[in-house]
Amino acid sequence: MSIQENFELAKKAYEKWGINVDEVIETLKNISISVHCWQGDDIGGFEVNPKELSGGISVTGNYPGKATTPEELRADLEKALSLIPGKHRVNLHAIYAETNGEVVERDRLEPKHFENWVKWAKENGLGLDYNPTLFSHPKADDGLTLSHPNEEIREFWINHCIGSRKIGEYFGKELDTPALTNIWIPDGYKDIPSDRLTPRKRLKESLDKIFAVEVDERFNLDAVESKVFGIGSESYVVGSHEFYLNYAMKNNKLCLLDTGHYHPTETVSNKISSMLLFSEKLALHVSRPVRWDSDHVVILDDELKEIALEIVRNDALDRVIIGLDFFDASINRVAAWTIGTRNMIKALLNAMLVPNEHLKQLQEEGNFTERLALMEEFKTYPFGAIWDYYCKKMGVPVKESWLEEVKAYEQEVLFKR
């Protein structure tokens, strides 16, 4: 049968449960995922004197063809985005500034160093998000930045974060869509600390100084991101979940949840409903941890589906800002973007094709037998037929046919670098 015929049959199956498939597709078209640029070059960036990757971050693999210039990275992003249905965003780190060969320290970065990114985003109808880069730098070599006991080092990173918020504001003004500027730091200790409080007091004071500088919230949204541990900070992380959750709530900032930044038995999907009760907006970095925060490419696994369900069933599509954060250098990098982003969108579509209100009612009634039965049966409903139709409607390759385009791009572009 054709894609259209399969779609019509699947549509009837879902409509029996009161699900308006056409409305679902229209809603999905307007959901933007923030695609992280750093998958394309293994978090290398374009600083004049690049630093070795540090701060508890590790990228493994040596697949050929990684981007080595801004032009190459943007071309690779364009290729990936052409294979992904919908209009999305691109997430930048400070190290992706373009300084025309001039050494510009991170605390001196300005909007002008990102003019090429903004021009490109306008041409492609994309929004931009931003992150200060508080790793891979001599002033972060001992694993401390905003919580550093040395005031001069703290001030360097404070100024970098202040400048980053102004760059985010610039993105928002130029592109008419607010940028999410997210602060993550690697600060912590390898072994058991003798004082947990003092570094956290310094981090709080640093954040207070950063956010004391006024930035227009119409154009820039501030977020803070926690982590449970990292390489070199196995025993203690200054910016823990509890620290940032309390800081965000008290200071009206977004708390960003990264799916790899918690204990292996914790799930971000289980946190979303609690966060939505107390926060107007929530930000996510969707990754796939394997034993630890290994940032594997996102797959359509149970946790991804559950994250999407929590967003959809709680009517929070306009309240949760979804970004991706993975980096795999062992496979084709354009394919990694395509696989991960398509899977995030698939998970959202799947969640919208579930009779969520009926399942909620069954739970309220205590009808757990029917609830479990339906939740299991819907796992094999013909969601794939709806996805194929959506891809065709949006003008992107259906099923695995996108892989042929990546293979051709690999031969014609990537392997020639």
Q: What angle do CA 79, 66, 387 make, to 5 degrees?
A: 35
Give the closest residue to 21 by CA, choosing from 310, 395, 389, 312: 389
Rounded Cα distance between 377 and 380, Å, is 6
Say whether 227 is catalytic: yes
222 is catalytic: no
Structural contact between residues 132 and 160, judged by C-beta atoms closer than 8 angstroms? yes
Instruction: Give me the catalytic one of 41, 225, 303, 388.
Output: 225
The residue whose two tokens read 């965000």 is 248
Angle at 185 between CA 161 and CA 231, to 5 degrees: 155
Task: Scan for tokens 């992280």, then name that residue.
Answer: 36
User: Helix, strand, coil shares of the chain as percentages rounded to 5?
Assistant: 50, 15, 40
Name the active-site residue from 79, 285, 305, 346: 285
Task: Let me know if 293 is a catalytic residue.
Answer: yes
Whether 412 is catalytic is: no
Annotated catalytic residue, options 295, 310, 328, 410? 295
Which position among 169, 293, 388, 410 bears the catalytic label? 293
Cα dihedral sign for 315, 372, 358, 352? positive
Nearest to 283 by CA among 242, 307, 255: 255
Q: Which amino acid is at 222?
A: D
**Catalytic annotation on 195?**
no
**Do 256 and 285 touch, CB atoms closer than 8 A?**
yes
* Active-site choice (139, 261, 271, 346): 261
Are the C-beta atoms of 351 and 311 separated by less than 8 Å?
yes
Among candidate residues 222, 258, 310, 410, the one labeled active-site is 258
Of 113, 227, 271, 346, the catalytic one is 227
- Half-sphere exposure (CA, 13 Å, Cβ side) for 410? 14
Q: Catalytic annotation on 285?
A: yes
Q: Is 325 a catalytic residue?
A: yes
* Residue whose C-alpha is closest to residue 55's, from 281, 293, 358, 363: 293
Of the residues 157, 184, 337, 402, which is catalytic? 184
Print the SS3 string covering 114-169.
Answer: HHHHHHHHHHHCCEEEEECCCCCCHHHCCCCCCCCCCHHHHHHHHHHHHHHHHHHH
Residues classed as catalytic: 184, 225, 227, 258, 261, 285, 293, 295, 325
